[in-house]
Amino acid sequence: MTIELLYFEGCPSRTVARDNLAQALELAGCPGRPVELVEVLTDEHAAALAFPGSPTLRLDGRDLFEHQEVSGLACRLYPTPQGLAGAPTVEQLVDALTPAA
């Protein structure tokens, strides 16, 4: 299982996403599972990665939270039970990871 966190420098939500992902991995029974941090550097790099915004979380190359539009070097918003947020909740991540864990 390969887990990636794609982001661009200056993304205010990447730390929250990283922390929520670490908690979710522990709750899903995968504590300490390595997460590859992928810094997206340019719009061209974003296009090559089909990067829909920062932060993006992928499991084995598949976006954990499907997104239709590719937006490049932009912040990504996630629908959560509390409204739109810059990162998915721990619970959403556990749900997304559990079938793969």
Q: What is the pTM of this model?
A: 0.91
The string of pLDDT tens digits covering residues 66-97 is 876 777 899 999 999 999 999 999 999 999 99
Residue found under tokens 């299982």: 1
Cis peptide before 88 (omega within 30 of 0): no
| H-helix segments, 1-101 | 14-27, 43-49, 90-97
What is the spatial distance between Cα 70 and Cα 77, in angstroms, rounded to a whole number?
13
Inter-residue contact 76 to 11 (CB < 8 Å): no
The string of pLDDT tens digits covering residues 39-70 is 999 999 999 999 999 999 999 999 999 876 77
